[in-house]
Structure 1
Amino acid sequence: MLHAYKPLPRGLARLGQQSPTEIGADLEQAFWIDLYRPLDSQVVAVAALGVEVPTLADMEEIEISNRLYREEGVDVMTVVLPGHTPSGEHISGPVSFILSSARLVTVRHHAPRSFATYPERAERTTAGCRTPERIFLGLIEEIVARQADLLEAAGKTLDQVSARVLGQARPMELKAALGEVGKQGELLGHIRLALLTLERALSFYDQTLATHPQGGELRPLAKALMRDITALAVHNDYLSSRVSLTVDATLGMINLAQNNTVRILSVVTALFLPPTLIASAYGMNFANMPELSQPWGYPFALALMVASAFLSWAFFKWKDWL
């Protein structure tokens, strides 16, 4: 899928949808071309503009030299962002930004929400959207804001889970809470990776700003974004520590619930031990057992068993074991 945009006096305008044979007709006018799971024809159309579109395998290379480099005046930056697959699965995947003086090309194979929300908010970002460089910084600002929203949502979820765990949660609720905390921990890991790669990309971009015509105007914007990323990274670390604390609290409550169950079973076993001993004694087949021939023998044995159980219960209660 290919989306192309050009700037207007107010915001970005999306160029019309083209067929595969006409797809390159308006691309020369585009300041931003967004490729989402691109078709071969779309890759060829963008390549005709002098932009080499990396494959997913190229984008997934972990070497920093493959993710951040400058070639013939074009900055290529690949970051890892959380998003969704077409099936709705939440993943973390690579997104490449190919920035030249003529246009910005983004390549992605999953759907970070920022790419859907940015076109409508482009004019309200700090950088604006008059040039490809400003579109790049505005898109990064939208992505950073999205990570902030995800962190805020994760914090609220952890608050709710902690309240349930420390309240009167039942064992099944504790199990569900543990699963929810695990999901939030995984999400925080994806956000932390996104912030790390964004910080690297902006640091690389900041080093190349000297060659940009508007480098003096854009550098403060890039610096401000890096400060925002640093602040979000600190917040992410705080929430990660809360995840660990909530997991420990949940496991502790589960252990307490299990210990209480084992304690009850132990007490019940101890209460029935003296009656069992008495019943075992009267079940022995000795010839000389006078009580067996007496009419009061059976009631006497039953009363003795009940009395022994009651005395055991009273002793445990006196010791405050119940």
Structure 2
Amino acid sequence: MINVFVLQNGRLNQVNIDSREDLEKVAPVWVDLTDPNDDERAWVKSIYGVVLPDEEDVKDIEASARYYEGENGDLHLRTDFLLEEDDGPSRVVTVAFILARDILFSVHPEDLPIFRLVRMRARSRPGSIADYKDVLLDLYATDAEYSADALEGVYQSLEIVSRSVLQEELSDQDAAGALNAIAHEEDLNGRIRRNMMDTRRAVSFLMRGRLLNSEQFEEARQIMRDIESLDGHTAFLFDKINFLMDATVGFININQNKIIKIFSVASVAFLPPTLIASIYGMNFKVLPELDWSFGYPLAIVMMIASAVTPFWYFRRRGWLK
């Protein structure tokens, strides 16, 4: 799918493109391609002279070559964008940007909420977009906001987990659910941190390349400050996640120790009766039960007393609580 946007009075207006002729008639500032087919790739190449990278080329590019200038002077950037899904774990989607002929070309395998938000905001805020570089900076700024919203979601989720973990009684089922939730939030927090690192690198590359005017340079600096402010939050969340993980594992160990404690007390309590029964089961020359009529009753009384006495002593010392 190809989405073409033209600049009118500082607003991004989308133009419907159904054929190659429709694309030739417009003077776009942003050409956004979501999982483009062969025809759409051919249109872009023949009209603008831009060769769009394949999905495999975008994923397999080395980290050191994520930002480079092509032989024809086109500027190529590869940036990861965070994508949260309700029915699955979060992930990052790599987007290929090409800056050529005063046009921003973006290629990604699926539509992203950040791109939808930028399109919606540009239509409702006249004067916010002046050229294709403003579109790119707006995407990076929105990416930082999206990551901040994701961090707020992590905060809320961890608050729920905290109330579950720090309750008076934590069952094994509750602990398993808490560990699953903690692992999910730790994965999301790590992806947010990686996403912010990648965005910082991209914005820093634009600033070092002297491609921005004074206003755009100041906007890039503000994006960098926003990203730096998120670093402290991700570090705090990592500490909170580690604390909740240790607390949950500690409660699991306590529950397991309670089970081991029961077996330990039972083994100690029933050791004397077992010893008495073993002695009375030996083959004496004169069997007590035959030589003395009170032999069996005495053995039973001794076994009961030897079993009750340890329980009474353990309970008095508070070891059974």
Structure 1 residue 247, shift from structure 2 partner: 1.5
Residues 4, 318 of structure 1: alpha-carbon distance in 2 compared, 3 angstrom cutoff? same
Secondary structure in 2 matching 1:51: coil
In structure 2, the partner of 1:309 is 307
Alignment pair present for 1:141 and 2:141: yes
In structure 2, the partner of 1:120 is 120
In structure 1, the partner of 2:53 is 54
Contact 1:127 1:134 in 2 (8 A): no
In structure 1, the partner of 2:177 is 176
TM-score normalised to structure 2 length: 0.88
Q: Where do residues 88-127 of structure 1 align in structure 2 (5 Å cutoff)?
A: 90-100=90-100, 102-123=102-123
Alignment pair present for 1:203 and 2:204: yes
Q: Where do residues 1-322 of structure 1 align in structure 2 (5 Å cutoff)?
A: 1-9=1-9, 11-18=11-18, 22-23=19-20, 25-26=22-23, 28-48=26-46, 49-61=48-60, 63-71=62-70, 72-83=72-83, 90-100=90-100, 102-123=102-123, 128-167=128-167, 168-209=169-210, 211-212=211-212, 215-292=213-290, 294-322=292-320
- Counterpart CA distance in 1 for 2:185 and 2:112 is 17
- Counterpart CA distance in 2 for 1:65 and 1:220 is 26
Gaps of 5+ in 2: none
- Counterpart CA distance in 1 for 2:17 and 2:281 is 92
- Counterpart CA distance in 2 for 1:82 and 1:314 is 61
Moved more, 125-134 or 239-248: 125-134
Matching residue's letter, 2:55:
L
Structure 1 residue 62, shift from structure 2 partner: 5.1
- Counterpart CA distance in 2 for 1:300 and 1:111 is 85
Contact 2:7 2:29 in 1 (8 A): yes
Contact 2:148 2:230 in 1 (8 A): yes
Contact 2:9 2:126 in 1 (8 A): no
Contact 1:127 1:135 in 2 (8 A): no
Structure 1 residue 5, shift from structure 2 partner: 2.1
Residues 278, 111 of structure 1: alpha-carbon distance in 2 compared, 3 angstrom cutoff? farther
RMSD of equivalent CA atoms? 2.5
Residues 127, 290 of structure 1: alpha-carbon distance in 2 compared, 3 angstrom cutoff? farther
Structure 1 residue 24, shift from structure 2 partner: 5.6
Residues 263, 13 of structure 1: alpha-carbon distance in 2 compared, 3 angstrom cutoff? same
Structure 1 residue 292, shift from structure 2 partner: 4.8
- Counterpart CA distance in 1 for 2:84 and 2:159 is 25
Matching residue's letter, 2:195:
A
Matching residue's letter, 1:136:
L
Matching residue's letter, 2:58:
M
Residues 126, 100 of structure 1: alpha-carbon distance in 2 compared, 3 angstrom cutoff? farther
- Counterpart CA distance in 2 for 1:113 and 1:274 is 71
- Counterpart CA distance in 2 for 1:285 and 1:207 is 96
Gaps of 5+ in 1: none
Moved more, 307-316 or 242-251: 242-251
Work out the number of aligned pairs and report it: 315
Secondary structure in 2 matching 1:107: strand
- Counterpart CA distance in 1 for 2:88 and 2:21 is 30
- Counterpart CA distance in 1 for 2:88 and 2:272 is 61
